[in-house]
Structure 1
Amino acid sequence: MSRSLITRASSKGIRRTLVLVSLVFLSACSGAPSKMLAAPVTGYNHTSAAINWFSVNGAGGGNVGPHQGGGSQVCCGGVPRYWTPGLRAIVEWEKDPDPYSYGKWTERPYSDAWTKRMEEEKQQYSRHKVVVDIPKYDTAGTLKVHFLPCNQVRVSVDNVKPGDPRYPYNFPMNMPEPKVCPD
């Protein structure tokens, strides 16, 4: 890349940064707190399936293995600074019901045969979308999504961690899964 292209690219980046910094300072000078806050998103999977990906109101996380969660966060989802009655979230996710099946395959990993089998396996994945209520919170915090058996989901936005008695969803990480889910 020529030196003039690098200089122009650097100048554009500096100008964009200055504009963003100026906007931050201007919004800080308005005196009114913002109505929305950026919140990290984290998932908790209480099932034996893998959550390949998920999103909350379009902001999402990556893979959450069976009976795992809380360790990684992605940035950021928008949450209201103050809770209001009727506050809800749209949660979408993809689920792999048999996340460890490839470990039993005889095909050499990443060979043509393995890739073909993986494509067949992906046909077993299911996608879901639900709208859930968000319980009352006093201080906005992390967007925490709990994946439960029977494709049930719970979301919290508070500043309280799972395990704390004040947390609304202290589910065990390894929840029993019924043979038949209720409608």
Structure 2
Amino acid sequence: MKINRMLKACFAFLMVLVAGCAKATDTASSAANISGINHVAGQTVNSFTVNGYGGTLTGNSCCIMLPDEWKPGLKTRIEWEVDPNSNVILPPLGTDEFRKAYALHKSKYQHHSTTVDIPKYDQACGLTVHFLPCNQVKVTTSCYGYGAPEYPVKEPLNMKEPASCPVN
């Protein structure tokens, strides 16, 4: 008799847990890779994050969670560090001159952040961040690769920074 009551109590407890889990999956999400493409000549994107998750310009990084179903108002936060003069020539590595020159060079790194809309998607195949002149970014979840006719971002690589950028 006591065992039967205990089993019923355990079963009721498990049902409450399962009901809580079912509610959490109403907005299902999937892990997606993060990648980036730098479109600006003479400038290096040293690092970037998407909603705090690190991305890379040399392939894919894992992961960001994207809703399986896109909804209006879906946004993401991009933060990045730029070396505006990646072609600088430094003294020989390991010397005092190098350390001083590198410290001066690094002090000119720029930090940027913005929040952008994630465009509508039927299927998210990862999130790609495009770094454009004037510290602008575009994001896409396209399943096509950059350069494919169906790919939504058409800006070319090696773009030059304009003499002046528009004020937002």
Q: Which residue of 2 aligns with 1:40?
A: 33
RMSD of aligned C-alpha atoms? 2.0
Q: Which residue of 2 aligns with 1:168?
A: 152
TM-score, normalised on structure 2?
0.79
1:130 CA displacement: 0.3
TM-score, normalised on structure 1?
0.72
- Indicate the percent of aligned positions where both proteins have the same amino acid: 41
Q: Which residue of 1 aligns with 2:77?
A: 90
Is 1:99 aligned to residue 86 of structure 2? yes
Conserved 8 A contact 1:88-1:132: yes
Give the aligned residue type for 1:73.
N
- Partner Cα distance (1:60, 1:87) in 2: 19
Moved over 6 A (4+): none
Matched residue SS, 2:48: strand
Conserved 8 A contact 1:55-1:93: yes
Aligned to 2:96, which of 112, 116, 130? 112
Gaps of 5+ in 2: 1-17
Q: Which residue of 2 aligns with 1:80?
A: 67
Aligned to 1:61, which of 39, 45, 55? 55
1:148 CA displacement: 0.1
1:85 CA displacement: 0.7
Report which of the two structures shows the higher radius of gyration computed on alpha carbons.
2
1:35 CA displacement: 1.2
Conserved 8 A contact 1:138-1:158: no
Matched residue SS, 1:163: coil
Gaps of 5+ in 1: 1-25, 65-70
